[in-house]
Amino acid sequence: MPNVAPVVHETTTEIGLTSAGMTVTAVTGRQTFNSAFGTGGTDKFDYVATNRDASEWEEGTAHLSDATTFVSDTVTSSSNNNSAVTFTAGTKDITNDIPASKQVGEDLTQTLTNKTLGATTVTGILSQDNTTDSTSFVTGSIHTDGGLGVAKTVYCADLGIGVDPVKLLHIDSATAFQQYISSTNPSTVWGNNPVFASKTASTTIGVSTGVSQFLTGDASGDSIVASDNDLLLGTGMDPETATGTIRGMFEASTGHFGIGTLGAAPAAQLSVDQASTTAAVPVITMDQADVSEDFFKFISTSTDGSAAVALVNAGDFTTMGATAGYLKVIVQDDQSTGGITDGNFYLALYQVPTA
């Protein structure tokens, strides 16, 4: 790559082609090519040669074959239709200068290639007015082989990471959990959810197998996973390993909801599993503040003379079935005076009635 140096200027009175070699003489108060660039090599520096006594000029790259012999290597433009000039008699000024084609102009529209921006702090605005879409990691209006750090807010239209975006934010990766955002301060990332991850690999999470699209929470605490098939709530659901303990789930394929430490997908429309033998809590607690309303409302359709349905009409039967057992419940009456004494009560369980 040709070099540049400040205030390099020498003269020659020789005629002919600069590629044949010309003896140059130092100019008082100026650097010589030898002091600026030394000798040897090819295309070592840019030059401009002009004849004071004729309409002849030439620019390109050159080197010194020795301390005072100038030799051009490549002519990039000239008064001879951009070909090498056979200089005639007169004094020729030869200077080190960057050709206009290589210079960056503030008011010009230019394409920069093979340029590296150093690790400097620049104030102002970098504007790239270009409609070229990026279709890979090396295309688009702006491309960097290294990292890109942004200390302020980024504004953009659709943003695609690893994919041409079809959504406002579109992330795609062939590797599980490449899209991962975490924070030691939970409130700084999407409210109180400190982790975001997107996973494309099919991974079993407890009882659910699917392609997880969204996970939020703390790997050591509460977390939520949404997948193509399920919505899972649990603890310790690590976004790197996609493992953890499920505390509840919605199974999209069946519409079933499950609450508790589930060992399998919920088998009913609503499944509640209090699996701990030492939890010392009821399975369900219902608090009805509207005292004029019921705790339960059962809706079904009875069938004449049938006891094999959800709602059985007692008028179709003459004999109550035998008592098979009792269902223990707890009643708490918040009436301050004259209420039902709080405690355990037992609901009789009857066998099938007979007509």
Please give the C-alpha separations between residue 237 and each of 46, 179, 181, 182, 187, in angstroms, as whole numbers. 63, 16, 15, 14, 19
Determine if the pTM surpasses 0.85. no
**CB neighbour list of residue 237: distance below 8 Å, 6 or more residues apart:** 205, 215, 217, 219, 223, 225, 243, 244, 245
246: number of Cβ within 10 Å: 21
Question: For position 253, what pLDDT does the model report?
Answer: 78
Per-residue pLDDT tens digits of the chain, which is 355 residues long: 788 899 999 999 999 999 999 999 999 999 999 999 999 999 999 999 999 999 999 999 999 999 999 999 999 999 999 999 999 999 999 999 988 777 887 777 777 676 665 655 656 666 666 666 666 666 666 767 667 777 777 777 777 777 777 667 776 665 544 455 554 554 444 444 433 444 433 344 444 443 344 444 444 455 555 555 567 777 665 554 556 677 788 877 788 888 886 667 788 899 898 888 898 999 999 999 999 999 999 999 999 889 999 999 998 998 989 999 999 999 999 988 888 999 999 999 999 998 8
Question: For position 40, what pLDDT does the model report?
Answer: 92
Three-state secondary structure call for residue 31: strand
Q: For residues 321 and 350, give the distance between their C-alpha atoms in angstroms, rounded to a whole number.
A: 5
Question: For position 195, what pLDDT does the model report?
Answer: 39
Question: For position 213, what pLDDT does the model report?
Answer: 41
Tokens for 98, please give them: 């960057």
Give residue for tokens 């040669």.
49
Please give the C-alpha separations between residue 102 and each of 56, 59, 93, 108, 143, in angstroms, as whole numbers. 21, 12, 21, 12, 21
**Count of helix runs (H) and strand runs (E) in the chain:** 1, 23
Please give the C-alpha separations between residue 188 and each of 156, 191, 233, in angstroms, as whole numbers. 21, 6, 22
Question: Would you give the distance in Å from CA 227 to the centre of its chain?
Answer: 19
Question: For position 124, what pLDDT does the model report?
Answer: 65
The distance in angstroms from the start CA to the end CA of the chain is 105
